Structures are given as C-alpha cells and as structure tokens.
Structure 1
Amino acid sequence: MKLLRRKEGPSLDDRLTALLEAARLAEGRLPQELVAQAREVSERAGERRSLSVDHTVAALAGATGSGKSSLFNALAGRDLAAVGVTRPTTSTAQAALWDGEGAGALLTWLDVPHRHEVEAEGDLPGLVLLDLPDHDSIELTHRLEVDRLVELVDLLVWVVDPQKYADAALHERYLRPLSRHSEVMVVVLNQIDRLSATQAERCLADLRRLLEEDGLAGVPVLGASARTGKGLPELRGLLEERVSRRRSWAERLSADVSTAAARLSTAGDEAVSVGTPDGGRLTRALSEAAGVPLVVEAVAKAHTHRAVAATGWPMTRWMRKFRPDPLRRLGIGSGARGEIVGRTSVPQPSAVQKARMETAIRDVGEAAARDLPEPWAAAVRHAARSHDDDLAGALDRVVATKSAGAARRPRWWAVIGGLQWMVFAATVLGAVWLSVLFVLTYLRLPDPPLPTVVEVPWPTVLLIGGAVAGVLIALLSRIAAWAGGRRRARKVAKALREGVGEVGGRLVLGPVSEELDRYRSFTEALGVARS
C-alpha cells in the first residue's frame, strides 16, 4: 500500500526508503544506537501501515493526579478507568473503541489487552483512545509502558494540571525530544475549573510559552475540566477532525522519520563540497618507496651493459661477463627470456622514504576529510590507510611487471653481433694469412702470388681493416646503446609511474573516494528523509 503523499516534496514511502538507505550508509560510521533507531522507525512504519489505517490511535498521557483517567471516562461517556488523586491507579493501558471493528490486529500490535467498545457518535468512529499509565509513576513498569506506547500511537494528547504543567520531567523527557511531532500532538490543561478565568488564561499562556521553548509552537493547547465538562466539546471536536482526516498515522510516521533523520544528521547537518583527492604527491612518494629511481637507472645501465656484451669486439666482450648485470642484481627480468620470476630484489625503502610515503598517505586522508564532520572524517582517514599492509607487495609486483620489458633484446643487436663476427673472422683470416707468409719466408720458400689493394696486401687489409672496423662498430654500437638505454629508461619510468599511480589509486585514493561517495550518498538520502 502506497503511503500518503504530502502536498510538497517526496512521499512518505520515499522518505522511509531514504532513511533506511541513510542508516545503511551510516553503519560503522555513526553510533550504532542512532542507526538502530533509524532502522526501527522504518520497520515500525512497515508494521503500522500493514494494519488498519482507518483507525486513529490517540493516547492520553500525563502525570499522576493530572486527571487523564477522568478525562478518558468523560470522553468515553462511561466509567472505564479507575480514578485516583495522589497515587497511580492505571497500571496498564486500556482502550476505548468507537466502532472498533477491524482494530483487533492494531491493538494486538500495540499490546493493549484491555479494550472497551463505546457507542460511536459524531465523527469519532474509528477512534481508538488509550488511557496510559502515569509517566512519573513510582513503578518502573508503568514508565516503561508509557515510553513504549508513546513511540507507537498516532496522536498524543498530553494531559497536565495547573500544579505540574511545568514539570521538567515532562518537558525534558517527552516534549522536547518530540519537537518534530507537533502535528500529532495536543496538550490539555485539565482541572481548569480550579482556577479563575484570569488564572486559567495565565496558565494557558505560560504553558504555550514552555511549549515554544520545547520547539512545539503551534501545538493546540486546550483548557478543560473532566469534572465540569468545560472544554470537552472543543477537545472532542479536535479529535473528530483528526479522526475524520485519517492521516494522523501517516503524520506520526512522517514526524518519526524527521526525528530519526535529524538524529543521524548530528554527524553533519549539511552536505559539504567534497572532491577527489590529488594523487600527484602520493605517486611520487610511493615511487620513491618502491625504488623506481633505482630501477630506472638500472634499466639504462643494463641496456648498455647487455648491448656491449652483444655487439662489442668479440675478443673483449667476454670480459663483460665479470661485470654484474644491474637488472639481474635487482631480480628484474631474471628469467630465461626476461619474464617475471617471483619477487624482485629491490632494496626495502629507507626510513626517510617510509616517512615520506606515510606522510603522503596521511595527507591524502587529511585533505579529503578536511571539510567533513566527525566521525565521517575519521572514516575517510582510516580508508586512506586501510590497505597499508598490501602496499609493499603491490608496488613490488608493479616494479616487476612494468620493468620486465626492459630485458628484451633489440633486433639490431643480433645484426651488429653477426657483423662483428664477420669482421672478426676477416681479422683472423688476415692474421692467419700473414702468419703463413711469415712461415714461408722464414723457411725460405718461394712467396705465393699476393693480391693487393692499392699496393697494400690483402692479408694486411684484412687484419688491420678488420680490427679497425670491429673497434669502430663497437664504439658506434655503444653510443647507440647509450641512447637506447636512456630511451628505454624513460619508457620504463613512465610505465612505472603509471603503475605506481594505479596502485595508489586502488589502495589509497580508491578507498578514500569510495568513502567520500558514501558520505555524498548519505547526505543525499538524509536530505530526502528530512524533507
């Protein structure tokens, strides 16, 4: 069944849904008592609207000696409740029903066992009038019964007397907390027959002043006397008007939603402007802690180191094996084809780097929480540090993954390496040829025909030319390797920064943004619930 829609704003159904959503979002952020109260209001609304909406439950509540039981009997036209003056006589609530057909389930839900059918007259059919125990009773069970039913009934009629209408217990315990329930509340100054007309007006004016201080300005305040019947027609007329509209139950639930939403809003009455935190400083700090500068430098050096080993003069390149490979020392790309093998050997961050990283993470949380009310600000700060234990492993995986490509060998290395072997073979051939010629000369054998290149013998050309060409190719390859190492280092540095930024976004900025989104959703839902 669709709840009644107010003249303006969202329907009560929408407000209840929003309140339930706000309570869900506030779970673990706001005090559990407030969250439970909000959920209880939603549950109570569902139960109440599933029962008879054609009946209006009005409760007469008051202190000992206020005369509410006498007023109850006067309205019912029968002596249904025992009347006492100095001590409580009502121990459990009892109900007077004007046309109570269909109200059984409602009264069972209210747990009111004593029920009296009275003659329906006027516009009262559908009224269920309760006589509650005294709210100031010396019996704890009486007070608890009042507290329970005050939260459930549709219309509250507070009965006070000239002696105790300003009682602090009444105003502080009941009226002030119900300041948003003015539309479902009536205050009756009973026993007005004991006062003169001037005294009665003065008491009524003072009672209205106290109600205004309680936040209940506009609540109907009537003077009445159960003994003489004065004021009873006005009270009965007011009850008839409320019963005929059949909206008190919805107005009560609306007031309950407003109260529960207002209590939740004590964590922040208004939505504040929140944005996505800047991750630039965080990325830099995480990069330092992950050893990115060290890895980038190692990439450049390793590229040059491996290029020299692959394209250098074959007679000297073997010496490179005695020099450590910078990337292998860090455990990066140490597989047979440069694939990722376990964790890297990048040194753990220093104390200074750790401090910078922790400061950057803390600053992200502080910046995001700056304009938020507590305890939402605390939740945001906690979110920034919620994955501290996962950061080290995630950063190491990023370094290993993004640096794996640095171990790949460019194709030109193989070409130049093959050329070097060809040049080396020419050099060796020239050396062997000259050696043969030397032996023949030493043995005084005839010299064989010797081809020349511009009068320079071919063996000499091969020996000297091969050596010079090999050295020249090695020098040019080293220059190309140095430039390629710088280029590869820049590429790896960019990939590492992006990877570290993704880690920071996933493990630091992401949880913070989720918490900020949760707060935005909370304030939006709360705004609907309070509207």
Structure 2
Amino acid sequence: MKLLRRKEGPSLDSRLAALLEAATLGEGRLSVQAVSGARAVAERAGVRRSLSIDHTVAALAGATGSGKSSLYNALAGEELADVGVTRPTTSTAQAALWDGEGSGPLLDWLEVPQRHSTTTNPDFSGLVLLDLPDHDSIRLSHRLEVDRLVELVDLLVWVVDPQKYADAALHERYLRPLAGHRDVMLVVLNQVDRLPPQAVERCLRDLRRLLDEDGLTGVPVLAVSARTGTGLNELRTLLGDRVSERKSWSARLAADITSAAGHLATAGPATETAHEPDGQAAAMPDTPVSGDLVPGIEAGRAEVGVVAANRSAVGGAEAGGAAVDGVGSRSLERAGKGSAGWDRALTGALCAAAGVPVVVEAVAKGHRHRAVVATGWPLTRWLRRFRPDPLRRLRIGGVAQPGRPDRELVGRTSVPGASAVQRAQVETAIRDVGATAASGLPGPWAAAVRQAARSRSDELADAVDRAVAKTSVGATRRPRWWRAVNVLQWLVFATMLAGALWLGVLFGMDYLRLPQPPLPTVGVVPWPTVLLLGGALAGVLIALLSRLAAWAGGRRRARRTAKALRAAIGRVGQAYVLEPVEAELDRHARFAEALDLARA
C-alpha cells in the first residue's frame, strides 16, 4: 500500500511514531488521559490506514430536528432514511455507498450494520455517507453512538438549523474541542427555505462568527434546503471534491495526531495524590495508573479551554508549545555545563555528613601511629602497640584477607553518623539540585525531575559509606621506606646488641680473672662501647627522623585522601542524584522533540 506523504513536513508515519514515542516518554509523568488518548489515536490511525484508503467516510451529524435524514436522502437521491415527526427518528447509523466495493471491512470497523448501495452521482465514487443519530438525543445510547463515530469518520458534516445553530451543546461538546479538525469539517445550515433571504444572510453571518470564536476559521459554511434543493449542488460539488482528492482520511489522522500532541503538551501530572515537601504535586513514575479518555470529544467535555491547545498545535504552539519546545535542550545544557555548581554543593554536604574531616584526621594520625610502629626504636616501639590505631577504630583497613596479608577488607565503617543538621544539609542540597534542574520545565516534568533527584536518597548513606571505606583503603598502605628503615633499625639494633654482648664477654672474663684479649679501639674508646652506644644513639636518631618524616607524610596522605574521598563521594552524588536528574531532563528533551515532530 502506497502511503500518502504530505507535501511539506514529515510523513504521517513519522508523526505517528513520534506521537507514540512522546506518549511512552510521558507515561508516569503526564496524566493518564492524555497518554492513553495519544495511544488510542495511534492505534486508531494504524487500523484506519490498513483499511480502504480509496473510500472517504463522511458523517452527517447534528441536533434533533436539524434535517440530517432529509439531507441524507437528498444526497443519496432516494429515500433511505425514515423522516418523521416523532423524535428521535434515527436510532442507529446507516451508510449510503457509492462504489462501495471493498468498503466492507471499513464499515465493519465502524460498526455500521445498515448499508445502502447507490449510483445516483458518479462524482461520489468512493464516498461512504453516514446518517448519525441526534447528538442531543434523550437516549444515552444515541449520544454515545454519535461520540464514537465522530471520533472515527474521515469527514464531518455538521447539519444545523436556524433555530438551534447556536446551541451550546453543539459548540461546547463538539465544535470547540474539534477546532484542530477544521480541514475535515463542513457546516451546513439546513432548512433555509423557512427564512426570508435577509434572515438567511444574518443567520450565516452569526454562524460564521460563532465558528470563528470556536477556532473554526475557514471551515466552509453552506446554506441548503433538503426540501427545496437550495444549495444542494454546491454541497454535492464540495463533497465530490473532497472524495476525489482521497486525502480526507489522512487529513483526519493528521488532525488527530496534532490534537493528541496538544493534549500531551498541556497535560497535568500523572497523579495528584502525591505531594512534595514544598506542596507541589509530584509525579510518581513507578505508580501504576489506569483510565481512559478519548481525545477530541471527551477531553473537550472535561475542559472546554483545551481548544487553545488545538489552535496552537495547528497554527503555532502558544500555551503548551511554549512550555515544552526547547526547554529540554536548555535543561540538558544546564545539567552538562552548569552541573559543577550542583556537584560542589551536593558533594560538600555529603562529605560533611559522611564524616570526611574525621576520616582525614584519622588518616594523618593513623599514618604517624603506624610509622612509629614500623620504624621506631625496636626497644620501645612495642609500647606503641598499646595505643589504639585511629584507622582501625573507624574500621578502615582493619582486617586482612586470608592468604593476602597485604590486602585489607572493605566493610562497613564506624565513622560517626551524620547529625540532624548534616542530614538536613544533604536534603537541602538534593532539593536544590532538583529545583534548579526543574526550573523552566512544565509542571509535570518539573515534578518528575524533583522526584528523580530524591529517587535514590535512601541509598545514599550506604553508598557514601562504601565509598569512604573503599577509598580510605589507600590510606593504610605502607610506604616502601618504612621497610627500608625497619631493616636499618634492626641492623643498628644488632650492632648495639653485638657491642653489648662483647662488653658482657669482657666483663665475664674480668670477673673470672682471665687474661684480657687485645681490645681494638676507636681513638681511646673501645669498639664494644662504640658499637653499644653508637647503635643506641643511631637507633634513637633514626626513630626521630622517621617520626618527622611520618608527620610530613601523614599530612600529605591526609590531603591526598581528602581529595580522593571528595572525588569518590562526588561520583556517588553523580550516580545517585545527578544522573537520575539528567536522565529525566534527557527524557523531557526527547519528549519535546517527539512532540515537535508529531505537531509539525
């Protein structure tokens, strides 16, 4: 099947795909009525295109006593519909077919059982003319039938009479909500034979004024009389032109797409039951919702003012378009280039709540503590072990893995929990991120962005603690010079011990009055004394120098750890707060692009 393509703008296929994409992206954020209405339009469009596109379905719709059935018979050239005084006369829709071969599946889809074939006018070849029940009938089933078929037919011919052409039920329930369908609509002022010529002109001018107020500027208005035949030729010509073009079906679908996109652009939030701390309604993307509302007719009953959305969707977006077009790209720009400000404030609050200053101080003290244990004088270093290790007290790098003594487990730390003030600061920072990112977005999307900022806040504490534990493992690594100094200390200690043993042997020999062996000296000082005192002095001096080096190293390690902790916590804030926000902003940007394409 060859698909009809517009001369300008995207194809009907691409617009339908864009509408479906916009509905999918808006699900959970926008009202169920708007989303389900858009899906219904897409589904209806797919079914209509799969049926006969060589036939044009036109419907005569109007109020009680407007003469629809008389006009139907006049166009068909024979008495197909009953015309009487008793109301309502037409209870079910019936169809007149001109060259109706292949129209069966289409009429089955429309659920029109009464069908009449006629060949009175060859210019009507391919026309399927429906006579609908009264839209203001006292019977609910008749009104529902009209509502259903008005949503499905390709061309709408509204039949009015001089007495009720200004009826509010017609204008508020049908004409205004269908302002975006002006290209597939005709208005016929019937029974003009009952008025003098001057009154006919006045009625036409007043009807034209009312239609303009309804947003139906340019819709053809014809004055006819089904009884006398006045204006019927002009109506037949106009219908014949529409039928011969074979474009009414695609024009109707295009208008439906534009209308559904307009409803999406101005839709409210998905639910009104959830509220944010600041009192604004919050969209709940994960909340299941249900319901249905057919666009065009039912939406117009719920909110007559939505005609503004239809007008803006056709002639250039005003209310809804201004709120959607271009906002997503600007928001993404803020999320990309301007997120540094959000990141700094959020990271600062998370660092304070995670006890980073406590950890950094413990890193410096722990480094000095472990350095003394590793490089101190062997005779006194064991005393240091009785002092608590600041890092082990916080459970940072405290347990070695079996078989891997050089590696340490990363577990839950014992860093003091955040205070109430710190938790409030984190909540404020998260709320500020959501509020800044949502600035300029339509209400439902702004609520969704704010909700996204808080969507993983319950996981933040554990994620930040894991980041602190994992990042702080590097603060427990032993520098290589500790091992070298430790070896040197033991060599010096061995030297001191050798001198002590040598002196002990000499003392024993003197005690036993044994002859003294020759004793080498350094100047006048014997070598055993040099080894003993020199080893002790060297060990203490090395320990002091090592302590100075450990103090400087502890400061450097604390600075590096603080930088690493801030970076790690910043990545947590990015993953748990900023990325959901940016994902929601990107979703809105794609939604806006899809709406632009659907309404093009």
TM-score by length of 2: 0.86
State the alpha-carbon separation in 2 of the partners of residues 102 and 411 from structure 1: 89
Question: Paired residue for 2:565?
Answer: 496
State the alpha-carbon separation in 2 of the partners of residues 286 and 297 from structure 1: 17
Deviations 1:249-300 (CA, angstroms, capped at 9, x unpaired): 0000000001000111104523222120331111111122222222222112
Query: How far 1:48 moved relative to its partner?
Result: 0.3
Is contact 1:431-1:459 (8 Å) kept? Answer: yes
Q: Is 1:408 equivalent to 2:496 in the alignment?
A: no
State the alpha-carbon separation in 1 of the partners of residues 48 and 515 from structure 2: 126
Amino acid at match of 1:330: L
Query: How far 1:32 moved relative to its partner?
Result: 0.4
Structure 1: 5+ residue stretches without partners: none
Task: Out of 427-436 and 451-460, give the one that drifted further.
Answer: 427-436
Q: Is 1:116 equivalent to 2:116 in the alignment?
A: yes
State the alpha-carbon separation in 2 of the partners of residues 128 and 197 from structure 1: 33
1:329 to 373, 384, 393: 393
Deviations 1:46-90 (CA, angstroms, capped at 9, x unpaired): 000100000000000000000011000111111111113462110
Question: Paired residue for 2:307?
Answer: none
Give the total of aligned pairs: 531
State the alpha-carbon separation in 2 of the partners of residues 342 and 497 from structure 1: 19
Question: Paired residue for 1:362?
Answer: 431
State the alpha-carbon separation in 1 of the partners of residues 85 and 529 from structure 2: 136
Query: How far 1:440 moved relative to its partner?
Result: 4.6
Question: Paired residue for 2:104?
Answer: 104
Query: How far 1:2 moved relative to its partner?
Result: 5.1
Query: How far 1:436 moved relative to its partner?
Result: 4.0
State the alpha-carbon separation in 1 of the partners of residues 515 and 555 from structure 2: 57
Is contact 1:190-1:224 (8 Å) kept? Answer: yes
Amino acid at match of 1:463: L
State the alpha-carbon separation in 2 of the partners of residues 338 and 366 from structure 1: 43
Question: Paired residue for 1:303?
Answer: 367
Is contact 1:157-1:187 (8 Å) kept? Answer: yes
1:281 to 311, 325, 345: 345
Deviations 1:412-467 (CA, angstroms, capped at 9, x unpaired): 21111111111112222323333444455556554432211122211221122111
Question: Paired residue for 1:210?
Answer: 210
1:123 is paired with a residue whose SS is helix
Question: Paired residue for 2:304?
Answer: none
Amino acid at match of 1:412: W
Query: How far 1:357 moved relative to its partner?
Result: 1.0
Q: Is 1:312 equivalent to 2:381 in the alignment?
A: no
State the alpha-carbon separation in 2 of the partners of residues 118 and 524 from structure 1: 47
Question: Paired residue for 1:14?
Answer: 14
Is contact 2:350-2:426 (8 Å) kept? Answer: yes
State the alpha-carbon separation in 2 of the partners of residues 408 and 428 from structure 1: 31
Deviations 1:5-35 (CA, angstroms, capped at 9, x unpaired): 2121111111111000000000000000110
Question: Paired residue for 1:523?
Answer: 592
Question: Paired residue for 1:432?
Answer: 501
Q: Is 1:476 equivalent to 2:476 in the alignment?
A: no
Question: Paired residue for 1:125?
Answer: 125
Structure 2 CA distance for partners of 1:510 and 1:264, relative to 1, 3 Å:
same
Question: Paired residue for 1:192?
Answer: 192
Q: Is 1:388 equivalent to 2:453 in the alignment?
A: no
Query: How far 1:493 moved relative to its partner?
Result: 2.1
Task: Out of 446-455 and 146-155, give the one that drifted further.
Answer: 446-455
Amino acid at match of 2:392: R
State the alpha-carbon separation in 2 of the partners of residues 363 and 53 from structure 1: 54
State the alpha-carbon separation in 1 of the partners of residues 350 and 4 from structure 2: 55
State the alpha-carbon separation in 1 of the partners of residues 590 and 361 from structure 2: 46
Task: Out of 352-361 and 428-437, give the one that drifted further.
Answer: 428-437
Amino acid at match of 1:506: A
Q: How does 1:11-410 map to 2 (within 5 A)?
A: 11-85=11-85, 87-267=87-267, 268-269=320-321, 270-271=324-325, 272=327, 273-274=330-331, 275-276=334-335, 277=339, 278-336=342-400, 337-410=406-479
Is contact 2:23-2:39 (8 Å) kept? Answer: yes
Question: Paired residue for 2:491?
Answer: 422
State the alpha-carbon separation in 2 of the partners of residues 341 and 491 from structure 1: 19
Name the larger-Rg structure. Answer: 1
Is contact 1:65-1:84 (8 Å) kept? Answer: no
State the alpha-carbon separation in 2 of the partners of residues 295 and 120 from structure 1: 94
Query: How far 1:398 moved relative to its partner?
Result: 1.0
Structure 2: 5+ residue stretches without partners: 268-319, 401-405
2:266 is paired with a residue whose SS is helix
1:180 is paired with a residue whose SS is helix
2:122 is paired with a residue whose SS is coil
Deviations 1:328-355 (CA, angstroms, capped at 9, x unpaired): 1111111223422431222221112111
Question: Paired residue for 1:506?
Answer: 575
Is contact 2:95-2:115 (8 Å) kept? Answer: yes
Deviations 1:131-169 (CA, angstroms, capped at 9, x unpaired): 000000000000000000000000000000000000000
Is contact 2:154-2:184 (8 Å) kept? Answer: yes
1:181 is paired with a residue whose SS is helix
2:385 is paired with a residue whose SS is helix
Deviations 1:231-258 (CA, angstroms, capped at 9, x unpaired): 0000000000000000000000000001
Amino acid at match of 1:213: E
Is contact 1:64-1:86 (8 Å) kept? Answer: no
Task: Out of 56-65 and 459-468, give the one that drifted further.
Answer: 459-468
Is contact 2:76-2:120 (8 Å) kept? Answer: no
State the alpha-carbon separation in 2 of the partners of residues 415 and 29 from structure 1: 64
1:279 is paired with a residue whose SS is helix
Is contact 1:304-1:482 (8 Å) kept? Answer: yes
Structure 2 CA distance for partners of 1:43 and 1:2, relative to 1, 3 Å:
farther
1:177 is paired with a residue whose SS is coil
2:528 is paired with a residue whose SS is helix
State the alpha-carbon separation in 1 of the partners of residues 585 and 55 from structure 2: 44
Amino acid at match of 2:436: A
Task: Out of 504-513 and 491-500, give the one that drifted further.
Answer: 491-500
State the alpha-carbon separation in 2 of the partners of residues 82 and 13 from structure 1: 41
State the alpha-carbon separation in 1 of the partners of residues 112 and 559 from structure 2: 80
- RMSD, matched Cα: 1.4
2:59 is paired with a residue whose SS is strand
TM-score by length of 1: 0.97
Query: How far 1:387 moved relative to its partner?
Result: 0.7
Is contact 1:338-1:407 (8 Å) kept? Answer: no
Is contact 2:77-2:120 (8 Å) kept? Answer: no
Query: How far 1:405 moved relative to its partner?
Result: 2.1
